[in-house]
Chains A and B, each alone.
Chain A
Amino acid sequence: MSALRESLGFLTSRLRQVGIFVALILIVLLFQGLTGGILLQPQNVTNLVVQNSYILILAIGMVMVIIAGHIDLSVGSVAGFIGAVAGVMIVHWGWPWWAAIPACLLVGALVGAWQGYWIAYVGIPAFIVTLAGMLIFRGLTLITLRNQQITPFPAELRALGGGFLPDISGGTSVLEWLTVILGVGATAALLIQAFKERRIRRKFDLESEPLVWFIIKTAFTSLLMLIITFLLASYRGTPIVLVVLAALVIAYTALMNNSVFGRHTYAIGGNLHAAELSGIKTKAVTFRLFVNMGVLAALAGLVFTARLNSAQPAGGTGFELDSIAAAFIGGAAVTGGIGTVAGAMIGGLIMGVLNNGMSILGLGTDYQQLIKGLVLLVAVGFDIFNKNRSGGGGGIGKRFKLKTSPPPAEEKPAPASNETVEAGRK
């Protein structure tokens, strides 16, 4: 068995994981060409991050809800509602930002608890409850705002949407050094983590990833992070919302992969009855997922309001669709049980780059929607195709995880470690 064939076999077994990366890169390159290099200009990269941050925040909660086998159609309205609440608290009532932000997150949690109650404890399907929520919270947004926008917000809140970490070089340097330090540090941490995990997998004989692919993947990801660092550093530095987002991604990835709560979420989505009969309090888990979704929707609403510097009656419209699309493009399964936070982030970035690139090109929302719809269809269609081809439930691709599709034959011992060594020698 040649190392090349081994690598190819591995890549086909993770076609979707590889595919989504390649798709993102191709889309970036395509628009980089079409826009004549505007897409990857430092200022535009910064814009891209800030513009998409609230969709990405929503996509984190959304992918968790989808993993558990539910859906949330109300997040756009909830985000709009929280924007309105923030407007009333800060502008009308004069609350300081440090009191208003936790208060808004609490309101988000209450909204989530309301919906979670109907879904988890009464047993109404999430589709119905959140469809109702979509209407209810849009209505409440309009009522709260009395159909008028609220503006302006104080600078401290606006920083959440458009602010940057302080420039420690005092604006004299070409590169913003704090960003460079953070970026290089994060890259190093990622590398250390990747090697550590690989070592553990090898120790337990669970490694299926050929060394070549591991090196390519890790090197590529690191390079990508460094490029983004460089681009951000040569404009205005690190957006505050990126720090928030990075913290959320790290925390929620750990939560979904390693915590009891995360495991229970996957178990519920994978087989609700089996989870119940294993002593998992399925209702409590579902309830908490929606409370969490409410908090994240509130945060997204705050970021969006801060960025626009105004709470608007139509704020957040359509966010639910973008975040659901991000989760599914990122490989979450419609039937639940499969999906990752990292996947949803990549899905969200694909949507974001499409939005941004097409806007630069001057394409109207008509064509933007058309193309985004087709991308969603193709991405999920590819999943189904891939699943049928591999003939198993796991084929949908649990990306960014351990090996997924062992051969169906039972007697075959897995020469996993040998293969890795072999692949490494060539």
Chain B
Amino acid sequence: MNTPILQMRGITKTFPGVKALQDVTLDVNRGEVHAICGENGAGKSTLMKVLSGVYPHNTFDGEILFENEPCNFSSISDSEKRGIVIIHQELALSPFLSIAENIYLGNEQATNGWVDWRKTNLEAARLLARVGLDENPVTPVQHISVGKQQLVEIAKALSKEVKLLILDEPTAALNDEDSGHLLDLILHLKGQGVTSIIISHKLNEIRKVADAVTIIRDGKTIETLRLDEGQITQERIIRGMVGRDLESLYPEREPNIGDEVLRIEDWSVRHPQDHSRMVVRNANLHVRKGEVVGLAGLMGAGRTELAMSVFGRTYGTTVSGKVYKYGEEINTSTVSEAIRHGIAYATEDRKHYGLNLIEDIRRNISLAALRKLAKRGFVDKNQETVVANGYRKSMNIKAPSVAAITGKLSGGNQQKVVLSKWMFSDPDVLILDEPTRGIDVGAKFEIYTIIAKLAAEGKAVIVISSELPELLGICDRIYTLAAGHITGEVPIAEATQETLMHYMTKEKE
């Protein structure tokens, strides 16, 4: 049964000045789901790029055996010919093309150079059935959800007669339901003989699907854990990833909760394009001084939409609702008004909405409160550097200097820059949208510590998160959203994953 399909031996890959992989070994057996774990920057993605031919065979040392034959790939198409298909974290679909066209992109079903549309759509429909996606193959990809797009990617892989499917963080952008479906599909494909390698941060998913886990740290293989030997446990994986036992995933904190700071009443928001759709409906919530309030909900429940519409109406059309601060109604209809009233919103999408990736740390931190540093419209650059250096030290931003370009930092450090930026705007209320998304375990703990510190300083903090254990670990009170309604308000003492999930799936009439 345990015949190896893939053996990678002594893989060493160096970039100028950095050893990304050092003597890495990976053994994957035929027909298993093999997870690869490691902190961000550990070398997981690099290893997969070596395997799939993104890095040609002469740019690294070591040998790769696939089905007992050596591989010398010089491009992705070489590895795809052998049945190795990689699905990247950022989906590579063309939004305006149909599902079927995307599936056969670069592999068109054509005779004599003319596309056979009948065959294309029929074959596509067959593949969609195989991945359990109930959509018309002629639907443009932009009209289906991210979860479904992920399935289209898998259907595309299946069209290439895949033997080894590599999924890089496949559930990072999916809600729990879609994630569950995807994981079931991976198990289903396993039953059909497809071997999978899955890179994931989510340890519960790994425990659900993986037969084996290889842990990589600092470009080296730490160990491979096997399910049949009973080695796959959360503690063991975390210990391998961070190289130490995390006594606690969340910092200890003694909440000191004061008076109400912000209250949102009867907040309703329409979809920006489709005005008949209500995205947030009559939401009421409040947050107090020194309190950390969680906002839980499945994808599409309206959490981000609620936060962004409050923060300067940056989402949708607000139809009704009022915002009060310290009991007085305030105007938050533009971002600068919201900031002036002491509200800060750190986005879930750092790269697109949070940072200017081509600028340095200093200029990103100062951006939201540049006028604090300016006299008569001119910025005091020395003061700016002093401020940025202060945050670099206090937030432990790992970078050579504050003149480092933020696009070159790791996710965790980018997030710290975003948080620094909003802390510098000196808000009373911080709304943190998925503050630990795409961040490794060690950096997560640092972010939690920062949140705890902010609350201890008397800030009111609202945390939006898809990870329920995280909310349970850091919040004092949790609101749940479902289909735009606030369906529950749970004090931390009564909150469990089960109760939250119960409210999150509750549909109001």
Which residues of A line the B interface, CB within 8 A?
A: 200, 204-206, 208, 254, 258-261, 263-264, 266-267, 270-271, 273-281, 333, 337-338, 392-394, 402-414, 416
Q: Give min CB distance, B316 to chain A, whole Å.
A: 15
User: Which residues from A are CB-within-8-Å of B407?
Assistant: 392-394
User: Which residues from A are CB-within-8-Å of B402?
Assistant: 206
- Please tell me if the beta carbons of A260 and B378 are within 8 angstroms of each other in the complex: yes
Which stretch from B48-56, B223-231, B320-328, B335-343 is at the chain A interface? B335-343
User: Which residues from B are CB-within-8-Å of A258?
Assistant: 378-379, 381
- Please tell me if the beta carbons of B400 and A266 are within 8 angstroms of each other in the complex: no
User: Which residues from A are CB-within-8-Å of B379?
Assistant: 258-260, 263
12 A-B contacts, Cβ less than 8 Å apart?
A206-B401, A259-B378, A263-B370, A266-B359, A271-B352, A276-B314, A337-B356, A403-B401, A406-B404, A408-B15, A408-B18, A412-B400
Q: How large is the interface on B (under 10, 10 to 19, 20 to 34, 35 or more residues)?
A: 35 or more
Chain B residue nearest to A268 in the complex (CB): B356
Interface SS majority for chain B: mixed
User: Which residues from A are CB-within-8-Å of B367?
Assistant: 263, 267, 274-275, 278, 280
Residue B385 CB within 8 A of the other chain? yes
Residue B448 CB within 8 A of the other chain? no
Compute how far the CA of A112 lies from the CA of B378 in the bound complex, rounded to whole angstroms. Answer: 24
Chain B residue nearest to A416 in the complex (CB): B401
- Please tell me if the beta carbons of A407 and B400 are within 8 angstroms of each other in the complex: yes
- Please tell me if the beta carbons of A271 and B370 are within 8 angstroms of each other in the complex: no
Residue B312 CB within 8 A of the other chain? yes
Compute how far the CA of A278 lies from the CA of B336 in the bound complex, rounded to whole angstroms. Answer: 8
Compute how far the CA of A120 lies from the CA of B381 in the bound complex, rounded to whole angstroms. Answer: 29
User: Which residues from B are CB-within-8-Å of A206?
Assistant: 385, 401-403
- Please tell me if the beta carbons of A277 and B354 are within 8 angstroms of each other in the complex: yes
Compute how far the CA of A181 lies from the CA of B375 in the bound complex, rounded to whole angstroms. Answer: 33
User: Which residues from A are CB-within-8-Å of B389?
Assistant: 204
Given A279-B335, A416-B401, verify A260-B359 contact (CB < 8 Å).
no
Compute how far the CA of A354 lies from the CA of B388 in the bound complex, rounded to whole angstroms. Answer: 44
Residue B459 CB within 8 A of the other chain? no
Q: Give min CB distance, A273 to chain B, whole Å.
A: 5
Compute how far the CA of A204 lies from the CA of B311 in the bound complex, rounded to whole angstroms. Answer: 35
- Please tell me if the beta carbons of B382 and A408 are within 8 angstroms of each other in the complex: no
Compute how far the CA of A412 lies from the CA of B381 in the bound complex, rounded to whole angstroms. Answer: 25
**Which of B352, B377, B409 is close to A410, meaning CB atoms less than 8 Å apart?**
B409
CB neighbors of A among B345-382 (8 A) = 345, 347, 352-360, 363, 366-368, 370-371, 374, 377-379, 381-382
**Which of A254, A267, A409 is close to B378, meaning CB atoms less than 8 Å apart?**
A254
User: Which residues from A are CB-within-8-Å of B338?
Assistant: 279
User: Which residues from A are CB-within-8-Å of B386?
Assistant: 204
Q: Give min CB distance, A387 to chain B, whole Å.
A: 11
Compute how far the CA of A98 lies from the CA of B158 in the bound complex, rounded to whole angstroms. Answer: 76
Q: Give min CB distance, B360 to chain A, whole Å.
A: 8
Compute how far the CA of A258 lies from the CA of B382 in the bound complex, rounded to whole angstroms. Answer: 11
- Please tell me if the beta carbons of A276 and B359 are within 8 angstroms of each other in the complex: no
Chain A residue nearest to B379 in the complex (CB): A258
**Which of A205, A273, A275, A280 is close to B401, meaning CB atoms less than 8 Å apart?**
A205
User: Which residues from A are CB-within-8-Å of B7?
Assistant: none
Chain B residue nearest to A208 in the complex (CB): B403
What 3 A-B pairs come out closest when comparing CB atoms? Answer: A414-B400, A270-B356, A410-B398
Compute how far the CA of A270 lies from the CA of B405 in the bound complex, rounded to whole angstroms. Answer: 12
**Which of B17, B41, B355, B370 is close to A407, meaning CB atoms less than 8 Å apart?**
B17
Given A277-B314, A407-B17, verify A337-B401 contact (CB < 8 Å).
no
User: Which residues from A are CB-within-8-Å of B399?
Assistant: 406, 410
Q: Determine which residue in B370, B382, B402 has the highest number of CB atoms from chain A within 10 A of its CB, and name it.
A: B370
Chain A residue nearest to B18 in the complex (CB): A409
User: Which residues from B are CB-within-8-Å of A260?
Assistant: 370-371, 374, 377-379
**Which of B335, B366, B403, B405 is close to A392, meaning CB atoms less than 8 Å apart?**
B405
Compute how far the CA of A263 lies from the CA of B354 in the bound complex, rounded to whole angstroms. Answer: 16
- Please tell me if the beta carbons of B354 and A408 are within 8 angstroms of each other in the complex: no
User: Which residues from A are CB-within-8-Å of B374?
Assistant: 259-260
- Please tell me if the beta carbons of A403 and B403 are within 8 angstroms of each other in the complex: yes
User: Which residues from B are CB-within-8-Å of A414?
Assistant: 400-401
**Which of B377, B382, B409 is close to A261, meaning CB atoms less than 8 Å apart?**
B377
- Please tell me if the beta carbons of A277 and B347 are within 8 angstroms of each other in the complex: yes
Known: A264-B370, A277-B311. 6 other contacts (CB 8 A): A206-B401, A267-B359, A267-B363, A267-B367, A271-B357, A407-B17
User: Which residues from A are CB-within-8-Å of B18?
Assistant: 407-409
Chain A residue nearest to B19 in the complex (CB): A409
User: Which residues from B are CB-within-8-Å of A412?
Assistant: 400
User: Which residues from A are CB-within-8-Å of B366?
Assistant: 263
- Please tell me if the beta carbons of A410 and B405 are within 8 angstroms of each other in the complex: no
**Which of B358, B401, B425 is close to A393, meaning CB atoms less than 8 Å apart?**
B358
Q: Determine which residue in A259, A260, A416 has the highest number of CB atoms from chain B within 10 A of its CB, and name it.
A: A260
- Please tell me if the beta carbons of B359 and A337 are within 8 angstroms of each other in the complex: yes
Q: Give min CB distance, B371 to chain A, whole Å.
A: 6
- Please tell me if the beta carbons of A274 and B398 are within 8 angstroms of each other in the complex: no
**Which of B312, B336, B339, B400 is close to A413, meaning CB atoms less than 8 Å apart?**
B400
Compute how far the CA of A278 lies from the CA of B355 in the bound complex, rounded to whole angstroms. Answer: 9
Compute how far the CA of A180 lies from the CA of B490 in the bound complex, rounded to whole angstroms. Answer: 78
Chain B residue nearest to A261 in the complex (CB): B377
- Please tell me if the beta carbons of B401 and A274 are within 8 angstroms of each other in the complex: no
Compute how far the CA of A171 lies from the CA of B262 in the bound complex, rounded to whole angstroms. Answer: 75
Compute how far the CA of A411 lies from the CA of B357 in the bound complex, rounded to whole angstroms. Answer: 19
Given A393-B358, A410-B409, verify A277-B345 contact (CB < 8 Å).
yes
User: Which residues from B are CB-within-8-Å of A409?
Assistant: 17-18
Compute how far the CA of A266 lies from the CA of B400 in the bound complex, rounded to whole angstroms. Answer: 23
User: Which residues from B are CB-within-8-Å of A274?
Assistant: 352-356, 367
Q: Give min CB distance, A123 to chain B, whole Å.
A: 14
Compute how far the CA of A356 lies from the CA of B329 in the bound complex, rounded to whole angstroms. Answer: 65
- Please tell me if the beta carbons of B357 and A279 are within 8 angstroms of each other in the complex: no
Compute how far the CA of A235 lies from the CA of B315 in the bound complex, rounded to whole angstroms. Answer: 63
Chain A residue nearest to B412 in the complex (CB): A410
Q: Determine which residue in A205, A279, A393, A402 has the highest number of CB atoms from chain B within 10 A of its CB, and name it.
A: A279
- Please tell me if the beta carbons of A204 and B408 are within 8 angstroms of each other in the complex: no
- Please tell me if the beta carbons of B405 and A394 are within 8 angstroms of each other in the complex: yes
Residue B281 CB within 8 A of the other chain? no
- Please tell me if the beta carbons of A267 and B356 are within 8 angstroms of each other in the complex: yes
Compute how far the CA of A426 lies from the CA of B111 in the bound complex, rounded to whole angstroms. Answer: 69
Given A277-B335, A277-B353, verify A270-B404 contact (CB < 8 Å).
no
User: Which residues from B are CB-within-8-Å of A337?
Assistant: 356, 358-359
Compute how far the CA of A338 lies from the CA of B404 in the bound complex, rounded to whole angstroms. Answer: 15
Chain B residue nearest to A403 in the complex (CB): B403
User: Which residues from B are CB-within-8-Å of A200?
Assistant: 381-382
Chain B residue nearest to A262 in the complex (CB): B379
Compute how far the CA of A337 lies from the CA of B364 in the bound complex, rounded to whole angstroms. Answer: 13
Chain A residue nearest to B409 in the complex (CB): A410
Compute how far the CA of A333 lies from the CA of B347 in the bound complex, rounded to whole angstroms. Answer: 26
User: Which residues from A are CB-within-8-Å of B405?
Assistant: 392-394, 404-406
Compute how far the CA of A338 lies from the CA of B335 in the bound complex, rounded to whole angstroms. Answer: 25
Residue B288 CB within 8 A of the other chain? no
